[in-house]
Chains A and B, each alone.
Chain A
Amino acid sequence: DAGVIQSPRHEVTEMGQEVTLRCKPISGHDYLFWYRQTMMRGLELLIYFNNNVPIDDSGMPEDRFSAKMPNASFSTLKIQPSEPRDSAVYFCASSTGLAGAETQYFGPGTRLLVL
């Protein structure tokens, strides 16, 4: 298996622009997680899906952020409009989903810079 795939790997955009990050989870994994990592706040969970349904979005910072999972093999995280404070590395992870006891497999991340 190719593992979790994320695109793009790097994104540079200007404040106010829309940014879309993409993720393909490992085949057969029922859970998909979106994280954000910064030096100040570490690795934070933004939202997670089970069987394509959003379960907990309490970590989504504000309405500018939205996430979708139209099918089992694809998810997007959108920021509109983007702001400089959104600059971070965004990770997607997937798992087979035993609560807490199942390991999560992370993608390589998307490094986002908002100017």
Chain B
Amino acid sequence: SQKIEQNSEALNIQEGKTATLTCNYTNYSPAYLQWYRQDPGRGPVFLLLIRENEKEKRKERLKVTFDTTLKQSLFHITASQPADSATYLCALSSDSSYKLIFGSGTRLLVRP
């Protein structure tokens, strides 16, 4: 069955450093990969989408890579800030489906 793995342990980093979160998947060939941010008590909020034929996507301090050979996506936040502290979810979908399959998320804590 399809499986998406994100590091269940919280990532704890110092303000100003680069945070790198990992999303690995098996038994799936997604056409799209999305990253969402979720704050406590709130719904997920879309951040970035990357297509299978794109290697990298950037938006301000955010960067996403998508390696279909390794079946992995990396999500980077440069110059991290305490306000970046949240849970980050990756989600996969295929060309023909409107269904998003979500990973369990990784909690990021940025210390001032």
A and B assemble together: yes
Please list the residues of chain A having a beta carbon within 8 angstroms of any beta carbon in chain B. Answer: 4, 31, 33, 42-45, 48, 50, 55-56, 91, 93, 95, 97, 99-109
* CB < 8 Å A-B pair total: 64
Task: Contact check, A45 vs B43: say whether CB atoms are below 8 A apart.
Answer: no
Complex interface: chain B residues within 8 A of A107 (CB): 43
Please list the residues of chain B having a beta carbon within 8 angstroms of any beta carbon in chain A. Answer: 30-32, 34, 41-46, 49, 51, 89, 93-105
Q: Which secondary structure characterizes the binding site on chain B?
A: loop
Task: Contact check, B104 vs A100: say whether CB atoms are below 8 A apart.
Answer: no
8 Å CB contact of B31 from A4, A50, A100, A106: A100
Q: Please report the C-alpha to C-alpha distance between residue A54 and residue B39 in the assembled complex, in whole angstroms.
A: 29
Q: Which residue of A lies closest to B101 (CB)?
A: A45
Task: Contact check, B95 vs A100: say whether CB atoms are below 8 A apart.
Answer: yes
Task: Contact check, A100 vs B46: say whether CB atoms are below 8 A apart.
Answer: no
Complex interface: chain A residues within 8 A of B104 (CB): 42
In this complex, the member of B30, B43, B100, B105 whose beta carbon has the largest number of chain A beta carbons within 10 angstroms is B43
Task: Contact check, B102 vs A93: say whether CB atoms are below 8 A apart.
Answer: no
Q: Check A100/B43 contact, CB under 8 A, given A42-B103, A42-B104.
A: no
Q: Check A91/B98 contact, CB under 8 A, given A42-B105, A101-B32, A103-B34.
A: no
